[in-house]
Structure 1
């Protein structure tokens, strides 16, 4: 009975372990996808920040509005780019240092101390925090101040590992955590996070994990708080040597960091170390390069030092694996070479027996290739001939109809002019001879017939052109999605290009426009294209059906 219970427990644990591994594999796929879109996510972040700056461009701000704007821009840059975050928060610190507004100065000083600590400028961060009059600020600012003191000492402890000063810094961290716990609201992030980290350091890791996992359900993925809590949970599970859970929360933290363009992060580096220990050197090397790139982009000295310690190890393992692979490859090449010599003798003997048959087979293959090539050429010519015939039929019909109409209109106009001449109505005759309305009517009639004929030949022309343009510059179709009955001047130019009429002067003569106008339209159309270099070539490839 006991044996059966043990087997059942082992089966349950094995099933849970496999499920966790499958979940982690899906998280790795998500993380890899986000890393592939690194440039796009960075560009999205830059656009959001640019929109904030653009919103106040040309506006004269009050001192209070400037303070709020600097705080907001700092919050955007704090985990994205050090020098920009420092620039904006430094403005507030300098403006408030002698203002007497203790709360606002404390808020700015704490923020500035954070990025100074992140980049390894510990003494400068400590001196700035020493300027804060703790007794003169409210509880909210005290919580931020104690949190920053705790963080600063935690970073110092990382740099003092394996030294006698390590535990001194940890004791200071615990001291400031206690101060936060005493004044923070019980359901707040500051209380729960500091309480969990405090009791974990005190030895009650299980309770700390339970607190943060319950609180994590209230956080939104892609936020800085979510990234910090998941990273901290990974550390808690590491202390319990529960490596699959540690890896899961590191993945969640890294995914959250990448999704909201957080460049001041640590999860990718630790994941790289885990993969290296597992022997997956390719992925470890790839994640390490990404971590180095993001640390360099942010400007974090601490993160660069951390990844710098790992780089030689991974590179050494990577080189060792490559050397082993090369040795295996050399051995296989030697074996293959021996087998090749044996096969070469067999092949030479076989070729002598079947030389004629082989030569005939080669001739047949070559003839089939030539035949296939000619067949393809014939099909292409047939398609072009069908298209040319269709164009001819359409345009000949339209030409005859338009010619008949113009002759009829000319005949009517001649009759009208003759009548005015006979009746000696010279002023009316002169007015009729001077007016351009018949010419304009003829141009409109020509455009109408050209548009109808072209759209009959190329019914999907406008929708195909839209595929070549950026979304915001596409031509409008009818509400029901049907193709428009008339072409705009831009579309007529593209229609003539499709008909292989590309000379600006020739297009200008046909459309009765100036060559400058045609050149301007073509330049603007290229500027709207997805691929500016091949835009007009792509237009000429639009099919008739």
Structure 2
């Protein structure tokens, strides 16, 4: 099939500029394009007819041959285009032949009259016309045309009746007339080759393929109308894609020749309908209906009117099916969308919960970090204080041991005055001061910015700074012990050798003057940064 299409492309490109490549879809696009140019071809035909009519008007009525040729040319323009006009001119042609008593020309015009009556579906009238003909003495060519016309009439009536008994009789008579016509005028080589397409495949020569016939008819110079007729006839010799291509080819040339008999486009609509290509079938069947009305083809109009409702109903069913599919798709999409929305809501809630959990975890981690920092700070402070404790205790134990030995020695020797002198040399206040200095020094090592941070909590005029030579004064020392974790007033009083009321008074006085609320003052003290050792 691909080879057929390529050959058809080449040949049609040479002959008439057809589309490419030659597949049915491509040919359909060409046909649809030709439909848009239909009015152009009709204007061209109208111009040709107008020129012929003008020439006829100026032709002497006594010149038989000139007027016969002009009537024939005008009739030929109307022959497949418009029945009413063709009927008028063939009657004038017949009258001309009768007036000049031209028997052969009269026979030819009568056959033409029968032909257009046949095309219009007026079978009885066509039979009445040919039955009145005097066929005696006619040339073989005219008698052959007469027999072909009668065969076509029998075939048309048989197709119209569509009856198992009568149709068979009409078809048999048609075959007899065709055979008689062939005996009178044997077909030409071209006609014989066309006839070979209809022999059974079992005896058909291998080269008689659709490709061959495409090449044959498109490479042979012939008018568009003749090409359409040959292509339409060949379509009955093939099936499937090949048949469709020949029918489309015939329909294209029908449009180019302004043929309105509608056979090719009607067959195309039928074939597409069988192939379930309903949209295209409806389009071309409507075109066939317009052509039938325009030309006046009664029999074809009846066939089209019987087909159009079927195609329309199927088209409506397909549209409804598409709507149903669209509705189902919409409902499924709606359900899926609802499910996705539900999942999205659940996902969002889960994400919010995760975020909340992450926030709690971050808060817990921060709190743990603060706790760990405080634990590390407390651990370092304890290490420092324990070290200070053991160092101080060791110093005082050494001092007590020395004092004990000396006292025992002086007592044994009876030197009691020396004992008193030794006891007087042990200055408790000085040792207490040394202890405070040692404590202050260790504290400032751990909190070097404590004094400045402490005073930053007080107004300028109430700030407490150590005097020259002091590390910490009593007031600052109280809050220093609080920073070390000694919060009880009694514990602070014992360490500093103050009364509990004195400690309370110091603390109350400082808090009352602070820049922050009294309730927050101790918290601010505990927030003073620990540097470590």
Match of 1:283 in 2: 280
Q: Is the 8 A contact 2:56 2:67 kept in 1?
A: no
Q: Within 2, Cα distance between the matches of 1:278 and 1:25?
A: 13
Contact conserved, 2:196 with 2:204, CA < 8 A, in 1? no
What is the CA distance between 1:288 and its match in structure 2? 0.9
Distance apart, 1:222 and its partner CA: 4.6
After superposition, the Cα gap between the structure-2 partners of 1:71 and 1:210, relative to the gap in structure 1 and judged at 3 Å, is same
2:274 and 2:175 map into 1 onto residues whose CA distance is 31
Aligned pairs, how many?
A: 329
Counterpart secondary structure, 2:248: helix
Residue 145 (str. 1) matches residue 153 (str. 2): no
- Matched residue, 2:71: 70
Measured in 2, the distance between the counterparts of 1:163 and 1:59 equals 53
Distance 2:192 2:128 in 1: 26
Q: Equivalents in 2 of 1:81, 1:208: separation in Å?
A: 42
CA deviation string 1:283-327 (max 9, x = no partner): 111111111111111111122122122112101110111111221
Cross-structure match for 2:175: 174
2:302 corresponds, among 280, 295, 305, to 305
Match of residue 48 from structure 1: 48
Gaps of 5+ in 2: 9-20, 349-533
Partner residue, 1:293: 290
Per the alignment, residue 88 of structure 2 pairs with 87
CA change 1:94–1:147 in 2 (3 A) is same
Q: Which residue of 1 aligns with 2:115?
A: 114
Instruction: Name the CA shift for 1:168/1:203 in 2 (closer, same or farther; >3 Å).
Output: farther
Distance 1:132 1:180 in 2: 17
1:250/1:271 contact within 8 Å kept: yes
- Of the three residues 244, 248, 253, the one matched with 1:247 is 244
Q: Structure 1 residues 28-37 or 207-216, which shifts more?
A: 207-216
Q: Secondary structure at the match of 1:134?
A: coil
Residue number in structure 2 paired with 1:34? 34
Instruction: Determine if contact 1:295/1:304 at 8 Å carries over to the other structure.
Output: yes
TM-score (norm 1): 0.54
Question: Is 1:186–1:192's contact at 8 Å kept on the other side of the alignment?
Answer: no
Give, in angstroms, the shift of residue 16 of structure 1. 6.3
Q: Return closer, same or farther for 1:98/1:190 CA change in 2, 3 Å cut-off.
A: farther
1:261 aligned residue: 258
Alignment match of 2:330 (pick from 333, 348, 351): 333
Q: Distance in 2 between matches of 1:106 and 1:117?
A: 16
Rate the CA distance shift 1:183–1:17 in 2: closer, same or farther, 3 A.
closer
Report the aligned-residue RMSD: 3.4
Which residue in 2 is equivalent to 1:530? none
State the Cα distance separating 1:61 from its structure 2 match: 2.8
Structure 1 CA distance for aligned equivalents of residues 5 and 216 of structure 2: 26
Equivalent pair of 1:49/1:73 in contact (CA under 8 Å): yes
Which structure has the greater CA radius of gyration?
2
Q: Equivalent residue for 2:528? A: none
Contact conserved, 2:59 with 2:67, CA < 8 A, in 1? no
Say which of 316, 320, 328 aligns to 2:317. Answer: 320
Higher relative contact order (CA 8 A, sep 6+): 2
Q: Distance in 1 between matches of 2:79 and 2:69?
A: 15
* SS of residue paired to 2:258: coil
Q: Distance in 2 between matches of 1:86 and 1:52?
A: 17
Structure-2 change in CA distance of 1:17 and 1:69 (3 Å): closer
The answer to whether the 8 Å contact 1:116/1:122 transfers is: yes
